[in-house]
Structure 1
Amino acid sequence: MHGDTPQNLDTTQSAGDGSEQVFEPVAVDAAAAAALDEAEATARARSLAPLRMVYREAAKYPAQVMFALIALTITAAGTLAIPAAMQLIVDRGFGSVNGIEGAGDVGRWFRYLFVIVLVIAFGTAARFYFVSWIGERVVADIRRKVQRNLLRLSPSFYEENSPKEISSRMTSDTAIIETVVGTTVSVALRNMFLGVGGTIYLFWLLPGLTVWLAVGIPGIILPIVFFGRKIRLLSRDNQDRVADVGAMVTEVLSAMKVVQSFGQESREADRFGGAVERTFDTARRRIVLRSIMTAVIILAIFGSIVLLLWRGAEGVAAGEITGGTILSFIVGAMIVAGAFGALTEVYGELLRGAGAASRLAELLEARPEIAPPVRPEKLPVPARGSLSFRNVTFRYPARPETAALKDFTLEIEPGETVAIVGPSGAGKSTIFQLVERFYDPQVGTIRLDGIPLTKADPADIRARLALVPQDGVLFSANARDNLRYGKWDASDEDIWDAARAANAEAFLRALPRGLDTYLGEGGTQLSGGQQQRVAIARALLRDAPILLLDEATSALDAESEQLVQQALEELMKNRTTLVIAHRLATVRAADRIVVLEEGRIVEQGTHDALSKAGGLYARLARLQFAADAA
């Protein structure tokens, strides 16, 4: 019975009085794990390794990558051909050089130069198309993979990670990756080809001068490596600050009525200003480092070129080098210098992209706490609708010091209606979350139709449940899609039947376009009571054997509440129903009422029996009914 969740049993031990103690080593291990994660993150920050995820996605489109590389190679080769064309124009186009035939035909060599320009133009257009296509495609694929993984994660993940911050990662970070793949990588490869190819050409042209240029290359690479590590860390930090700004905007704008009602516009503006300034400060430090790195690299590159050109000019004056050769060397050296100089900027962008990729990789690599077993047991068919809690103890991961349920045992028979009542924080909503297997208990078992939930596929479990949350949660879609969310293949006739049963038909038919009416973000086109009735109709349309009602009538006025309650009582027949009730008047007709206090069952029975018992339920009922009467 206790063997279904062994992975967490080593963190607790029963004390002599039956209570549970949490050992300190758990906290120590958690701290050590956090330190290890931080160390690993720092190590990753010193390299472009996180971009491997992006490269793997791009490798799925070999044809486009090949065309982009071909176009890239052609344009780089065309650019490197310009210095050679310059040499031919000067040495062969302007008069006779050592008796070479064709000398003096300037137009011929300029036509060759024009052909090179045409090749570069069309090659660049092709390169831009293919690398941009790859960038957009890779970002689309990463977004879809991240979203699919996010949908697999259990609610505990979103207790520790803000959905607003995750949303920012899905937008701003993927935009950075799109820039990296669609522009930066292409520019990086192009400049590498130009730098390496240009250096080879210069060695062939004037090896004596180019040797000195090659000696200076390490002086370029070392600053890139040194500054790059620091820029990478600041880039990651900057992206975190940008995500904070995005999350704050979403939070404040979604709660604008509350902000304005309490007159907090100035405070929120100041808070947002502080977040923006923190983002700016981080970006400023990154910009300062990049500026210093750029200055050092340019000084090294162009300083060495000036010295080399000085030596070359002396060779021309002495008649050792032709004018065309030194012109070709000058143009080639400028291309090489520009290529290596651009690589410093590109490297900074690649580091920024690596920061974005590492943040997305965290979401992509997150694994669900609740996952299907390797060989899940099938739930019995047809469904009976029985639920069994046996000695269940559960602590939320975010609050391990407090048990939400303690040694909780409850047997619910098929077709039974059980109401769960108790003060706030007693553990009522926790029962629903365990039934839906959003969490697993640390101790004890929960069974659905005799099968332990930990041995069944969570999707199969949830297929047998229909939930009406306390706040009717609707999506930014039309009324039809919101109603059939739990049964996507439902016909319009089925939808209207469910709407009629939930007392929602009248206002739905009054909508401008009926079921095709867009309900706004979060259903804002409807009142709170109307949103709740749509949520009730959605659960009824699902027609699951177990119905979970989390104070389903809390947002309704008295008349609508009575009508919906009548519909629910009729529909709860032959269906197992769990009702969380804060308003006790809604549970008088329940087959059984379970009273919770601090995670334990303190009473259970019918309304009349519990009212006469004089316990917690009687006290709550007396206070509530007296308030209603008043």
Structure 2
Amino acid sequence: MTEQGSEREKSSNIRVLGAMLRFLRPYRWQAGLASVALVCTAGITLSIGQGLRLLIDNGFAEGASPAELNRALLFFMAMVLLLAAGTFTRFYFVSWIGERVSADLRKSVFDHILTLHPGFFETNVSGEIQSRITTDTSLIQTVIGSSVSIALRNLLMFVGGLVLLFVTNPKLTAMVMLSVPLVVAPILIFGRRVRKLSRDSQDRIASVGSFVGEAIKNIKLVQAFNHQAADSARLGEHVEAAFAVARGRIQQRAWLSTAVIVLVLGAVSAMLWVGGHDVLAGRISGGELAAFIFYAVMVAASVGAISEVFGDLQRAAGASERLLELLAAQSLVAPPADPMTLPEPAGGRLSLDNISFHYPSRPDTWAIDQLSLTLAPGASLALVGSSGAGKSTLIDLILRFYDVQKGAICFEGVDIRQLDPQVLRQHIAMVPQQPVLFTGTVADNIRYGKPGASDEALVNAARAAYAHDFIAALPEGYHSFVGEGGIRLSGGQRQRIAIARAILADPKLLLLDEATSALDAESEYQVQKALETLMQGRTSIVIAHRLATVVNVDTIAVLDGGRLVATGSHSELLQRSELYARWASLQFDDAHSAASVAG
């Protein structure tokens, strides 16, 4: 690695640590108590060596009295009790901080993700994001709640042990010091490799989670196509790839631990040989040698523990980088610094003024090209066109999931880029073609449109969507569990709950993406009537795949390749738009039948 590359890596490490520290700052006093307990326990542990020396030289020495032995033992037990109390305090507060920071980090990442524009999720797999929020934060929790404490404690033990080694016997200490560079070298060499492999391992695990989640979510399709064996084989490939990376990381950590143990214990063995001869020669006492061995083993154990923890810290650094990438992701759709306000009461007027838009991933292709439309408050508009014509893109732009590159979209005369997106969306409700239900009860999903709505308003919305009867027939009525994605309900039932959700929201602007497509004939008739009632007095935009469902709207806009090619009523478009007339002839028996429907 070049010097410049090395500097970049160091800078990255500092940024990672600094970013994690901001999650610790709210809990200064808990961290302070844990630090005090940490210092006290380290000091008491170091004092045990002196207690051991007194016990051997005074309590067990030839001619020592029972009183001296009792005093030595009482001193030793007092230190043990203090050590136990300090360890309890340290463990409790350090573990508490780890759990608290992990919870805060999860919430912070999730809250930030909710603000990102939908385009972000087109290039970032949801399963991997879930892995970062769960697995990576759990790893950081382990490090903060355990590994950091162990590292700091052993660092204090290492420094204190070295000082006491010099005080006890400088000559033997010199031998111990010779082994320190030999121990530090493998930590530096293997530690860098462990960090890279740790990040790779987390990425591989995220891939496994993403694949499993996708397969489970679409289990019916997997089984319908007898794809179990193929998916099992693909998962095996993901798992084996993750295992291969993990094995490399484990191997590097194993070599690190082995090198430290051999070098440290080898130095201790040499020290014992020299110290033993000094005791036999009378140059030091047995208690001094015992204390020295205690401190030497403590220093060696501290170095070994630090080397172990260093691997965990490297893994945490990789996990932190992944989380910080999410926290650093910028939304392309953000509230303006000084947002404008909408006139009250909002009427639902919408205008599209010569707008053009392309997706960030396809900058050379205009999804919407120089399109202009105006909807008066309470007017209804149907968007028709072949697949890829730009119908769904227009809905996304109106909701400000993306910003146009040219022109302007105005709601109530205000450019929506000058509005806080949440303020804009408060006046809009959407019913997608594929209804989206969340894990929970029927009531939870309807109330999603207006969280504070009363039970009476909720039931009225369900009645208006012709959903009350089937909901009441469920085992627990409105408190029935719908399953993941509403799997316990039929497609038509899910759609009517989605419509009830929109009715409860009471929007000024209603967006319908062929909201009756999933219903049988009888339900479609009932819900179509409910939608007609709902659309009265509200500005409504309907994406139409079946022309028979929109023949009564105020205006039909024909889109082709992102451009507006014609507008008018159903009967008008049959006469002056060849494209619309061709679609009508394909959907009705013939052009004459299509015209009769208009009549």
| TM-score using structure 2 length | 0.95
CA separation of 1:41 and 1:605: change in aligned 2, threshold 3 A: farther
1:56 CA displacement: 2.3
Output the amino acid matched with 1:113: F
Output the amino acid matched with 1:51: L
In 1, distance between residues paired with 2:472 and 2:590?
A: 37
Question: 2:25 matched to 1:59?
Answer: yes
Structure 2 counterpart of 1:281: 244
Structure 1 counterpart of 2:262: 299
In 2, distance between residues paired with 1:627 and 1:524?
A: 39
Tell me, yes or no, if the aligned pair for 1:96 and 1:104 is still in contact at 8 Å. Answer: no
CA separation of 1:397 and 1:40: change in aligned 2, threshold 3 A: farther
Q: Deviations over 1:181-223 (max 9, x none)?
A: 1110111111111111111111111112212322432222232
Using the TM superposition, name which of 257-266 and 357-366 deviates more.
357-366
Q: 2:101 aligns with which of 119, 138, 157?
A: 138
CA separation of 1:360 and 1:91: change in aligned 2, threshold 3 A: same
In 1, distance between residues paired with 2:126 and 2:10?
A: 24
Q: Secondary structure at the match of 1:47?
A: helix
Question: 2:364 matched to 1:401?
Answer: yes
Output the amino acid matched with 2:262: L
Structure 1 counterpart of 2:542: 579
Output the amino acid matched with 2:90: R
1:171 CA displacement: 0.8
Tell me, yes or no, if the aligned pair for 1:478 and 1:515 is still in contact at 8 Å. Answer: yes
Tell me, yes or no, if the aligned pair for 1:370 and 1:437 is still in contact at 8 Å. Answer: yes
Q: 2:468 aligns with which of 497, 505, 528?
A: 505
In 1, distance between residues paired with 2:128 and 2:512?
A: 31
1:44 CA displacement: 6.1
Structure 1 counterpart of 2:44: 78
Question: 2:142 matched to 1:179?
Answer: yes
1:322 CA displacement: 0.7
Q: Deviations over 1:521-566 (max 9, x none)?
A: 2222211101100111111111111110011111111111111111
In 2, distance between residues paired with 1:427 and 1:43?
A: 45
CA separation of 1:170 and 1:595: change in aligned 2, threshold 3 A: same
Tell me, yes or no, if the aligned pair for 1:96 and 1:103 is still in contact at 8 Å. Answer: no
1:103 CA displacement: 8.2
1:119 CA displacement: 2.1
Structure 1 counterpart of 2:344: 381
Structure 1 counterpart of 2:564: 601
Q: Deviations over 1:72-129 (max 9, x none)?
A: 22222222122212211111112358xxx86883333223222222222232222221
1:571 CA displacement: 2.1
In 2, distance between residues paired with 1:185 and 1:253?
A: 37
In 2, distance between residues paired with 1:611 and 1:186?
A: 76
Output the amino acid matched with 1:63: W
Q: 2:54 aligns with which of 68, 88, 92?
A: 88
Q: 1:238 aligns with which of 190, 194, 201?
A: 201
CA separation of 1:146 and 1:253: change in aligned 2, threshold 3 A: same
In 1, distance between residues paired with 2:74 and 2:242?
A: 53
Structure 2 counterpart of 1:115: 78
In 1, distance between residues paired with 2:423 and 2:13?
A: 43
Output the amino acid matched with 1:114: M
1:48 CA displacement: 6.4
In 1, distance between residues paired with 2:483 and 2:311?
A: 42
Q: Secondary structure at the match of 1:604?
A: strand
Q: How do 1:252-291 and structure 2 match up within 5 A?
A: 252-291=215-254
In 2, distance between residues paired with 1:554 and 1:430?
A: 19
In 1, distance between residues paired with 2:7 and 2:337?
A: 31
In 1, distance between residues paired with 2:316 and 2:67?
A: 51
Question: 2:450 matched to 1:487?
Answer: yes
Q: Secondary structure at the match of 1:108?
A: helix
Structure 1 counterpart of 2:596: none
Query: How many residues are treated as equivalent by the alignment?
Result: 588
Deviant stretches of 4+, over 4 Å: 39-42, 101-104
Using the TM superposition, name which of 562-571 and 576-585 deviates more.
562-571
Q: Secondary structure at the match of 1:444?
A: strand
Q: 1:335 aligns with which of 298, 313, 320?
A: 298
CA separation of 1:485 and 1:370: change in aligned 2, threshold 3 A: same
Tell me, yes or no, if the aligned pair for 2:566 and 2:577 is still in contact at 8 Å. Answer: no
1:602 CA displacement: 1.4
Output the amino acid matched with 1:105: E
Output the amino acid matched with 1:53: A
Output the amino acid matched with 1:91: D
Output the amino acid matched with 2:379: E
Structure 1: segments with no counterpart, 5+ residues = 1-38
Tell me, yes or no, if the aligned pair for 2:33 and 2:93 is still in contact at 8 Å. Answer: yes
The percent of aligned pairs where both chains have the same amino acid is 47
CA separation of 1:385 and 1:47: change in aligned 2, threshold 3 A: closer
Structure 2 counterpart of 1:5: none
In 2, distance between residues paired with 1:187 and 1:320?
A: 36
Q: Deviations over 1:301-329 (max 9, x none)?
A: 22222222222122112111111111111
1:45 CA displacement: 9.3
Tell me, yes or no, if the aligned pair for 1:46 and 1:229 is still in contact at 8 Å. Answer: no
Tell me, yes or no, if the aligned pair for 2:102 and 2:137 is still in contact at 8 Å. Answer: yes
Structure 2 counterpart of 1:25: none
Q: Deviations over 1:423-475 (max 9, x none)?
A: 01110000000000010011111111111111111111111111111111111
Structure 1 counterpart of 2:509: 546
Tell me, yes or no, if the aligned pair for 1:47 and 1:229 is still in contact at 8 Å. Answer: no
1:618 CA displacement: 1.1
Q: 1:536 aligns with which of 487, 499, 503?
A: 499
Output the amino acid matched with 2:382: A
Q: Secondary structure at the match of 2:284?
A: coil
Using the TM superposition, name which of 291-300 and 561-570 deviates more.
291-300
Using the TM superposition, name which of 508-517 and 49-58 deviates more.
49-58
CA separation of 1:263 and 1:346: change in aligned 2, threshold 3 A: same
In 2, distance between residues paired with 1:344 and 1:45?
A: 22
Output the amino acid matched with 1:71: A
1:366 CA displacement: 1.7
Q: Deviations over 1:21-44 (max 9, x none)?
A: xxxxxxxxxxxxxxxxxx799726
Root-mean-square deviation (CA, aligned residues, Å) is 2.0
Q: Secondary structure at the match of 1:410?
A: strand
Output the amino acid matched with 1:344: S
Q: Deviations over 1:487-523 (max 9, x none)?
A: 2222222222211111111011112222222222222
Output the amino acid matched with 2:557: V
CA separation of 1:203 and 1:46: change in aligned 2, threshold 3 A: farther
Q: Deviations over 1:232-270 (max 9, x none)?
A: 111011000011111111111111111011001111111
Structure 1 counterpart of 2:16: 50
| TM-score using structure 1 length | 0.90
Q: Deviations over 1:115-144 (max 9, x none)?
A: 222222232222221111111101111111
Q: Deviations over 1:152-201 (max 9, x none)?
A: 11101111111121111111111101110111011111111111111111
Q: 2:414 aligns with which of 441, 451, 456?
A: 451
Output the amino acid matched with 2:46: L
